Structure 1
Amino acid sequence: MFRVVKFGGSSLATSDRVKNVAQITKSIAAEGYPTVLVVSAIGGITDQLIDCARTAEHNSAMAFEKLDKIKSRHYEVYPDEMNEQDTKKLILTYFEELSDILKAVSLIRVCSSRTLDYIVTYGERLNAQLLTRLLKRTGSLVEYIDGREIIVTDKKHDGARVLVDATYARIKARLAENLIYVVTGFIASSEDSVTTTLGRGGSDYTAALIGAALDVEKIEIWTDVDGFMSADPRIVDSAFVLPQVSYEEAMELSYFGAKVIHPETLRPAVQKGIPVWIKNSFSPEKAGTKISSTSNGSDHPVKGIASFHNISMINVQGSGMVGVPGVSGRLFGALAREGINVIMITQASSEHSICFVIQSKDANAAKRALQAEFEPELVSRKIDDIGIRDNLAIIAAVGENMAGHPGISGKLFEAIGENSINVVAIAQGSSERNVSLVVDELDAVMAVNVIHSAFYLSHRISNVFILGTGNIGATLLEQMKSGLDDLLNKNGLLIRVCGIANVDTMIIDDQGIDINNWESILSASDQKTDMDVLLQKIKAFKLQNSILVDVTASEFVASKYVDFLRAGIHIVTPNKKANTMSQTYYNELKSLTRDHRLHYLYETTVGAGLPLISTIQDLVQSGDDVLEIEGIFSGTLGFIFSALTAEKPFSTIVRQAYESGYTEPDPRDDLSGMDVARKILILAREIGLEMELGHVTVNSPLPLELSEGSLTDFWRKLPSVDADFERQRAKAEAEGKVIRFMASLKDGTCSVGITRVSREHVLSRADGTDNIIRITTKRYYDNPMTVQGPGAGREVTAGGIFANIINLSFHLP
Structure 2
Amino acid sequence: MRIFKFGGASVKDADGVRNVVNVLKTAGHENTLLVVSAMGKTTNAMEVVVKNYFENKNALAESIEVIVDYHNGILGDLFSTDQHPVYAQFNTLIEELTGFLAWNKSPKYSFVYDQVVSYGELISTTILSAYFNEVGLKNKWLDVRNFIKTDDKYRDAHVDWDTTQQKISEGVDRKSLNITQGFLGSDENNFTTTLGREGSDYTAAIFAYCLNADSVTIWKDVPGVLNADPRYFENPELLHQISYREAIELAFYGASVIHPKTLQPLQRKEIPLFVKSFINPDADGTVVSKGKGIVPDVPCFIMKKELVLIKLSSLDFSFIVEDNISEIFKLLADSRMKVDLIQNSAISFSVCVDNKFNQLDTLLKSLKSKFKVTHYEDVSLYTIRHFNEKAITSLQNGKDILLEQRTKETVQLVVK
TM-score when scaled to structure 1?
0.48
Aligned to 2:290: 293
Partner of 2:148: 151
Name the amino acid aligned to 1:307. Answer: M
Alignment gaps of 5+ in structure 1: 375-382, 400-407, 442-813
Match of 1:337 among 310, 334, 337: 334
Partner SS for 1:259: coil
Write out aligned runs for 1:73-152 (5 A). Answer: 73-79=70-76, 80-81=78-79, 83-104=82-103, 110=107, 112-152=109-149
Shift of 1:393: 2.1
Q: Deviations over 1:171-205 (max 9, x none)?
A: 12112342110111111112342321112122111
Distance 2:276 2:322 in 1: 49
Alpha-carbon distance, 1:145 to partner: 0.2
**Contact between 1:53 and 1:111, CA under 8 Å: does it hold in 2?**
no
Secondary structure class of the residue paired with 2:261:
helix
Residue 359 (structure 1) shift: 3.1
* C-alpha separation in 2, matches of 1:340 and 1:52: 24
Given the superposition, is the C-alpha separation of residues 14 and 236 from structure 1 closer, same or farther in structure 2, using an over 3 Å criterion?
Answer: same
Q: In structure 2, what is the Cα distance between the partners aligned to 1:244 and 1:46?
A: 31
Is the 8 Å Cα contact of residues 299 and 388 (structure 2) preserved in structure 1? no
**2:68 corresponds to 1:71:** yes
Which of 215, 219, 232 is the aligned partner of 1:222? 219
> Offset of 1:277 from its aligned partner?
0.9
Secondary structure in 1 aligned to 2:118?
helix
Tell me how far apart the structure 1 counterparts of residues 293 and 317 of structure 2 sit (CA, whole Å): 48
Summarize the Cα distance change of 1:389–1:198 in structure 2 as closer, same or farther, 3 Å threshold.
closer
User: Is 1:10 the counterpart of 2:9 in the alignment?
Assistant: yes
Task: State whether residues 35 and 181 of structure 2, in contact with CA within 8 Å, keep that contact through their aligned partners in structure 1.
Answer: yes
Ranges in structure 2 where 5+ consecutive residues have no aligned partner: none
Identity of paired residues, percent?
28
Corresponding residue of 1:355: 350
Indicate conservation of the 8 Å contact 1:4/1:210, yes or no.
yes
TM-score by length of 2: 0.90
Q: Distance in 1 between matches of 2:339 and 2:153?
A: 21
1:577-656 alignment runs, 5 A limit: none
Q: Deviations over 1:636-660 (max 9, x none)?
A: xxxxxxxxxxxxxxxxxxxxxxxxx
Q: Partner residue of 1:761?
A: none
Find the aligned partners of 1:266 and 1:331 in 2 and give their Cα distance.
29
Aligned to 1:436: 412
Q: How far did residue 160 of structure 1 move?
A: 0.8
Distance 1:393 1:50, change over 3 A: closer
The letter for the 2-side match of 1:427 is Q
Contact residue 160 and residue 198 of structure 1 kept, 8 A:
yes
Q: Give 2:384's aligned amino acid.
A: A
Distance 1:36 1:229 in 2: 26
* Contact kept? 1:252, 1:434, Cα under 8 Å: no
Residues 415 and 284 from structure 1, CA distance in 2 versus in 1: closer, same or farther, beyond 3 angstroms? Answer: closer
For residues 416 and 264 of structure 1, do their structure 2 counterparts lie closer, same or farther at Cα, with a shift above 3 Å needed?
Answer: closer
Which residue in 2 is equivalent to 1:266?
A: 263
Contact 1:58 1:109 in 2 (8 A): no
Classify the secondary structure of the residue corresponding to 1:396. Answer: strand
Mapping 1:624-773, distance limit 5 Å = none
| Structure 1 residues 346 and 178: CA distance shift in structure 2, 3 A | same
1:328 aligned onto 2:349: no
Contact 1:335 1:370 in 2 (8 A): no
Structure 1 residue 285, shift from structure 2 partner: 2.7
Pairwise CA RMSD: 2.5
Q: Which residue of 2 aligns with 1:307?
A: 303
Instruction: Letter of the 1:122 partner, please give it.
Output: Y
Alignment of 1:209-608 (within 5 A): 209-296=206-293, 299-300=296-297, 302-318=298-314, 319-322=316-319, 324-348=321-345, 351-359=346-354, 363-372=360-369, 374=370, 385-399=372-386, 419=397, 423-428=401-406, 432-438=408-414, 440-441=415-416
Distance 1:91 1:366, change over 3 A: same
Count of residues paired in the alignment: 411
CA distance in 2, matches of 1:164, 1:268: 11
Does the CA-based 8 Å contact 2:299-2:391 persist in structure 1?
no
- Residue 320 of structure 1 deviates from its aligned partner by 3.7
The answer to whether the 8 Å contact 1:314/1:387 transfers is yes
Determine the C-alpha separation between the residues in 2 that align with 1:414 and 1:279.
31
Amino acid at match of 1:359: D
8 A Cα contact 2:243 2:294, kept in partner = no
Deviations 1:459-478 (A, max 9, x none): xxxxxxxxxxxxxxxxxxxx
Q: Higher relative contact order at CA 8 Å, sep ≥6: structure 1 or structure 2?
A: 2
CA deviation after TM superposition for structure 1 residue 157, in Å = 1.0
Aligned to 2:59: 62
> How far, CA to CA, are the matches of 1:50 and 1:416 in structure 2?
34
Cα distance in 1, alignment partners of residues 2 and 385 from structure 2: 30
When residues 410 and 211 of structure 1 are mapped into structure 2, their CA distance, relative to the original with a 3 A threshold, is: same
Counterpart residue number, 1:44? 41
Q: What is the CA-CA distance between 1:225 and the residue it aligns to?
A: 1.7
Q: Quote how far apart the aligned CAs of 1:365 are.
A: 3.8
Deviation at 1:362, TM superposition (A): 5.5
- Higher Rg: 1
